[in-house]
Amino acid sequence: MEETWRWFGPDDAVRLDHIRQAGAHGIVTSLHHIPYGEVWSIEEIERRKAILAQNPSLGLHWRVVESLPVHEKIRRGDADCAPLFQNYRQSMRNLAACGVTNICYNFMPVLDWTRTELRHPLPGGGTALRFNAHEYVGFDVFILERPGADEGVPETLLARAKTWVEEASEEQKETLLASIMAGLPGAYERYDVAGLRQILAAYGEMTPADLKANLRRFLEEIIPTAEELGITMGMHPDDPPRPLFGLPRIVSTEEDIADLLAMVDSPSNGLTLCTGSLGAHPASDLPRIAVRFAERIHFAHLRNVAKEPDGSFMEADHLGGDTDMVAVVEALLTEGKRRRDEGRADWRIPFRPDHGHELADDLGKPTFPGYPLIGRLRGLAELRGVMTAIARLKDLPL
């Protein structure tokens, strides 16, 4: 497995030499300053690569892009998407020309990963990302006031949500909105309550079947180009794996993944295995998912979550939480051996330690939520130890 690290570019508070100190060589990055739908030029891609190469002694390289974003018009299924598909394909061609051939992307409408708490206190003073079901319901039902938002919500959860909204200060409500918006990458637009209502209305009464049809259309447009260029596309699952604010989520379960891979049955159409996103679903069996879809896993985000009965969850230690991380790592190492035995040069599956806790000197630093240095360094070290032990015990290549 290839140890990689997500880096948000020159504005990231985590420096490249710190990433190398953590032990990673692969950089996972994106051109967040380019608006959705515009072409990533070769000049811009090479500019980012030149930054990584400024200190050759670090030995850093860029093979995985996270993300090459999908425009909202494509997710909505608008009729006039031909120029957007053309631009996406040209960005793919330019990335491949620069040696970047592994693309992570998602198909989550409007919002990326969503949490209600960005700094939940941990013993000893660290902090973690957390999703509180009552705060989400309180925002959706009583602040956003989305019609039908209370349908299917258990009475006890609804009552707790109402109490939270009634007792919360305006500052707490503003912090909740900011936390929900924090999953949007880079410098892209954040919404206030009115703006969120407006963008949600643009999706109308979209059903999961509608969104799946739009995903199929996207895949049919871009996977042939991926095959031509030798690019692998790894869909990131929904985070959290549940409908949000009335919007459907269609890559949340094991069977959703099977549907995704069957839409265009190509080795280029694959999965970014995110154990944290999928692990927040009560029915997910991550080791089974890793084994079942091993041949189509192009990238992995390894982290853990601890779930609660009401749908809340907290991001746990990388080797804590509800997911058997040791079994997942064994599945990925076993697949790497199969690829090596086939003679593939790219047999190592790239992975990164996803979301870490804020710990020690990271506290208070302007890092992106979920992406401090020390918490991820700890996670990578733990995962490296698991990998090394499994490789030795099972005679698998690292």
- Please state the rounded mean pLDDT for residues 312-336: 97
The model's pLDDT over 81-136, given as tens digits with 9 standing for 90+, comes to 999 999 999 999 999 999 999 999 999 998 889 999 999 999 999 999 999 999 99
Q: Residue 187 — pLDDT band, cuts 50, 70, 90?
A: very low
Which pLDDT score is estimated for 71?
94
Which pLDDT score is estimated for 204?
84
- Please state the rounded mean pLDDT for residues 245-271: 97
**Amino acid identity at 195:** G
Which pLDDT score is estimated for 363?
94
Name the CA radius of gyration of the chain, rounded: 20
Other beta carbons within 10 angstroms of residue 251's beta carbon come to 25
Active site residues: 236, 274, 301, 354-355, 371
Continuous H helices in 168-265:
170-181, 193-201, 208-229, 254-263
More confident residue, 205 or 49: 49
What span, in angstroms and rounded, lies between the C-alpha atoms of 138 and 158? 8
The alpha carbon torsion through 260, 263, 269, 270 (nearest 10 deg) reads 20
- Please state the rounded mean pLDDT for residues 65-76: 94
pLDDT reading at 319 higher than 60: yes
More confident residue, 325 or 183: 325
pLDDT reading at 169 higher than 70: yes
How confident is the prediction for the chain on average, in pLDDT? 95
pLDDT reading at 188 higher than 80: no
CATH architecture, domain defined by 2-114+201-394: Alpha-Beta Barrel (3.20)
What span, in angstroms and rounded, lies between the C-alpha atoms of 71 and 109? 9
Distant-in-sequence, close-in-space partners of 299: CB < 8 Å, separation ≥ 6: 64, 66, 102, 104, 234, 272, 273, 349, 350, 351
User: pLDDT exceeding 90 applies to what percent of the chain?
Assistant: 94
pLDDT reading at 45 higher than 60: yes
Q: Residue 185 — pLDDT band, cuts 50, 70, 90?
A: low
